[in-house]
Amino acid sequence: PAELDEVAARSLAANGAELLVLRADVTNEAEVEAAVAKAVDAFGGIDLLVNNAGGKTNKGPAHEQSAAEFRQLLDLNVVSVLAVSSAVLRLSMLKAKQGDIINISSRAG
């Protein structure tokens, strides 16, 4: 929420840090590219990427899950990691020849 963004920005500014809030649907490659480009423009590059987006579908028997729901789950939990990592690598880390990527996952989604 915007209120949290404002509180975080004030807190960080009070300690001499900068904050750039970017919202993007990690399953949308165009939004990912735009957000990464804005971050690179604002800070000159990205040193650390933490992939931590994820979700889950309604639990239940496999025969009650639709293929569309499963595709959405894969897009969010798997494909988005590739999309965000690829954008950060291409637009920042490979050019700088440095950077770290941390991928976080859980059984909970």
Contact present, 105 and 94 (Cβ < 8 Å): no
Measure the CA–CA gap between 9 and 19, rounded to whole angstroms. 6
Count of CA atoms in the C-beta half-sphere (13 A) of 21: 11
Give, for all 109 residues of the chain, the pLDDT tens digit. 678 878 887 888 888 888 888 889 999 999 999 999 999 999 999 999 999 988 887 777 888 888 998 899 899 999 999 999 999 999 999 999 999 999 998 776 5
Q: What is the DSSP letter of 73?
A: H
How many other C-beta atoms can be found within 10 angstroms of the C-beta atom of residue 42?
12
Q: The pTM is what?
A: 0.83
Q: Is the dihedral of CA 42, 80, 23, 16 positive or negative?
A: negative
